[in-house]
Amino acid sequence: MYKLMIVDDSNIIRKRIERSFNATQFELVAVAGDGAEAVEKFQQFQPDVVTMDLTMPNMDGLECIQKLREISKEVSILVVSALSDKATGLKALQYGARGFICKPFTDDQLVAALNKLVQQKMKS
């Protein structure tokens, strides 16, 4: 069972991700509405997997990815963003994200992306 944290400033997207993931594989331990809150909750709950929006108030997703990776090199971060801008996606991956899906996404796309992260985690 992997501990999951959802980071997105949109309540609608947070709820959508909550409904989509596989509850037999993931336990939702925290949700955060911005990067600063995510760093705080990350230290408190130490999730294994994080879904990360990029465009948020207080601290954006790119900065948050860097901070989470400083705290833990083990965390798997899946970027879930409406930015289909390739440069930003590449930057997120350079900063340590392990996957990227674009909004709007289907439940199947989300589940597939999370499963892929878990498989990568099991190999490392």
pTM of this structure: 0.95
- Mean pLDDT value of segment 98-124: 91
Per DSSP bridges, beta strands 99-102 and 26-32 are unpaired
- In tens, the pLDDT along 39-64 reads 999 999 999 999 999 999 999 999 99
Measured CA to CA, the distance from residue 79 to residue 72 in angstroms comes to 17
Report the chain's mean pLDDT, rounded to a whole number: 94
Give, in order, the Cα–Cα distances in Å from 80 to each of 36, 44, 98, 123, 124.
17, 22, 11, 23, 23
Measured CA to CA, the distance from residue 21 to residue 40 in angstroms comes to 23
